Chain A
Amino acid sequence: MMRLLISLLFTCGLAAASDWSATERAFVQSLGPWPQAAVADASNRLSGDVRAIELGRQLFFDRRLSANNALACADCHRPDAQFADGIALNRGFGALARHTPALLNLSQRYWFGWGGENDNLWAQSMRPILTPEEMNASLTQVSETLRQDDAFACRFQATTGLALQTLDEQTQLVWIGKLLAAYQETIVTGRTAFDTFRDQLLQGQPLTALNASEQAGLKLFIGEGRCVFCHSGAGFSNGEFGDIGVSFFTASGVDKGRYAGIQSVTRSPFNRLGAFSDSIASGSRTQHIQLLHRNWGEFRVPSLRNVADTAPYMHNGSVETLAEVVDFYSELDEERLHTDGEKILRPLHLSAPEKQNLIAFLQSLSAPVSAATDQPDLFQNCPQAAG
Chain B
Amino acid sequence: MKLKQMLAAGLLGLSALAGASPFMELVDTHIHYSHDAWERTPPPEAIRLLRLAGLQKAFVSSSSDQGTQMLYAEAPDLIVPVLRPYRKRGEISTWFRDETVIPMLEDLLEKNTYAGIGEFHIYGDDANMPVIRRVVELAQQYHCFLHLHGDAEAVENVFKQDPNATILWAHSGFEGPAVVSQMLARFPNLKADLAFRNDHAFQGKVDAQWRELFLKYPDRIMVGTDTFAPERWHYIMDHADWTREWLKDLPESVAQKIGYQNGLDLAAWALNK
A interface list, Cβ under 8 A from B: 245, 247-249, 253-254, 256, 259, 290-294, 296-297, 335-341
Inter-subunit contact A292/B198 (CB<8 Å): yes
**Known interface pairs A249-B40, A290-B202. Does A340 touch B235 (Cβ–Cβ under 8 Å)?**
no
Main secondary structure of the interface of B (DSSP, over half): mixed
Q: Does B171 contact A (CB under 8 A)?
A: yes
Contacts of B229 in A (CB 8 A): 245, 297, 336-337
Complex CA–CA separation, A341 to B121 (angstroms) = 15
B234 contacts the other chain (CB 8 A): yes
Select from chain B the residue with minimum beta-carbon distance to A295: B198
Find chain A residues with CB under 8 A from B197 CB: 293
Chain B interface category by residue count:
20 to 34
Binding site for A on B (CB under 8 A): 40, 89-90, 92, 121, 149, 171, 174, 196-198, 202-203, 226, 228-232, 234-235, 238-239, 242
Query: Which of B196, B198, B232, B234 lies in contact with A253, CB distance below 8 A?
Result: B234
Nearest CB in chain B to that of A334: its residue? B90
Taking CB atoms, residues of chain A closer than 8 Å to B203 are: 290
- The number of residue pairs between A and B whose CB atoms lie closer than 8 Å in the complex comes to 52
Q: Are A291 and B232 in contact (CB under 8 A)?
A: no
Structural contact, A340 and B174, CB atoms closer than 8 A: yes
Residues of B within 8 A of A338 (CB): 196, 226, 228
Q: Are B238 and A259 in contact (CB under 8 A)?
A: yes
Option from A245, A249, A296 in Cβ contact (under 8 Å) with B235: A296
In the bound complex, residues from chain B placing their C-beta under 8 Å from that of A245 are: 229
Q: Is the CB of B90 within 8 A of A335?
A: yes
The answer to whether A293 and B198 touch across the interface, beta carbons within 8 angstroms, is yes
Alpha-carbon distance A293/B229, docked complex (angstroms) = 13
Interface secondary structure of A, over-half rule: loop
Smallest distance from the beta carbon of B129 to chain A beta carbons, Å? 18
* Chain A min CB distance to B201 (Å): 10
Provide the residues of chain A in CB contact with B149, threshold 8 Å.
339
Q: Residue A340 contacts which of B40, B90, B171, B234 (CB distance < 8 angstroms)?
A: B171
Q: Which 4 A-B pairs have the closest CB atoms?
A: A335-B89, A254-B234, A292-B198, A336-B229
Min CB distance A285 to B, Å, is: 16
For B198, list chain A residues within 8 Å (CB).
Answer: 290-293
Report the nearest B residue to A290, measured CB to CB: B202
26 A-B contacts (beta carbon < 8 Å): A247-B231, A249-B40, A249-B230, A249-B231, A254-B234, A256-B238, A290-B198, A291-B242, A292-B198, A293-B197, A293-B198, A293-B226, A294-B196, A296-B235, A296-B238, A297-B229, A297-B232, A335-B89, A335-B92, A337-B229, A338-B228, A339-B121, A339-B149, A340-B174, A340-B196, A341-B196
